Chain A
C-alpha cells in the first residue's frame, strides 16, 4: 500500500476483554515496530520485528501483551484481559531496515494509530 495502515482506527472495549490491533506495513519493509502513546506521554516502544529474526519484545509491559507478524508482512498486537491503563494510541511503523549503527536504519513511516479506550 501507499503507507502504513492500521485498523481499527478507534476501539472501545470493556475492561477484561481481549483486543486485536492490526498493522499493514508498507510493502517491502522488513522492519516493523509497535509503539504506544498514552495521554501526555511520549512514545513507548513495545516490540520490533526485523525480517525472520526473533522479535525484540523488550518493551512489552506485561504478559497480557503479545504480537506476531505473519509472512513478514501484516502484524497483530493482542492485548488480553484489557485494563484501563491500557488506554492509549497504539502506533505501528515500518522501515526498509532496522538496527543501530551508522547508516543502518532507514526512516520509519508511521500509521495513523489505533486509539484504544478501555472502559
Chain B
C-alpha cells in the first residue's frame, strides 16, 4: 500500500539486540494498528494507538504515534527468536473511508 510506508522491508538482528520498525503516512492517521504475522498464520493484533504522542508497551514491544499522527514506530527491546515474523502497520485514514489500509510489512528474523 502506498498510503503507508513501512521500513525497513526486512531486518535480521542478533538475539538480544534492539530494533525499530517505522510506519509513515503523508496523511493524518486516525488510528494506527500494529499486527504480527507468522508464516502461514493470520494476523495477531499487537497494539492500537489513537492519540498524538501516545505510547503503549506490551512485554518488550513499545509502539509510539507521533504528535502529528503521521508516523509510528515499533520498538523491540532485547529481541528473541519468538519475535520473528512479519510486522504490519494498519491505519484508519479519513480519505480512504471504511477500510483499514496496511503497509507492505517488515520481515524480522532473529538470529540465535
* Residues of chain A at the chain B interface (Cβ within 8 Å): 4, 6, 33, 35, 41-45, 48, 50, 56, 58-59, 91, 93, 98-105, 107-113, 115
Residues of B at the A interface (CB closer than 8 Å) are 1, 30-31, 33, 35, 40-45, 48, 50, 88, 90, 92-94, 96-105
| A58 touching B97 in the complex, CB below 8 Å, given contacts A42-B103, A43-B88 | yes
CB distance from B39 to the nearest CB of A (A): 11
Taking a contact as CB atoms closer than 8 A, the residue among B33, B43, B94 that contacts A91 in the complex is B43
Point out the residues of chain A lying under 8 angstroms from B93, CB to CB: 100
- A112 lies within 8 A of B90 (CB): no
Q: Given A91, A93, A98, A110, which contacts B98 in the complex, CB threshold below 8 Å?
A: A98
Closest to B6 in A: A42
- Give A50 Cβ to nearest chain B Cβ, in Å: 7
Instruction: Please list 5 pairs of residues, one from A and one from B, whose beta carbons are closer than 8 Å in the complex, sorted by A's number.
Output: A6-B42, A43-B1, A101-B94, A110-B45, A112-B41
Bound Cα distance A99, B93 (Å):
10
A91 touches B42 (CB 8 A): yes
Q: Count A-B pairs with CB separation below 8 Å.
A: 75
For B31, the chain A residues whose CB sits under 8 A away are 100, 104-105
Question: Do A59 and B99 touch across chains, with their CB atoms under 8 A apart?
Answer: yes
A interface majority secondary structure: loop
Choose among A33, A93, A100 the residue that contacts B97 (Cβ–Cβ < 8 A). Answer: A100
Output the least CB separation between B9 and chain A (Å): 10
A48 to B97, CA, bound (A): 10
How many angstroms between the C-alpha atoms of A35 and B37 in the bound complex?
14
Give CA–CA (A33, B94) in the complex, Å: 17
Contact call B98/A100, Cβ cutoff below 8 A: yes
CB-CB nearest 3 A-B residue pairs: A110-B43, A45-B99, A43-B102
Report whether A110 and B100 are in contact in the complex, using a CB–CB cutoff of 8 Å. Answer: no
Contact A45 B100 (CB under 8 A): yes
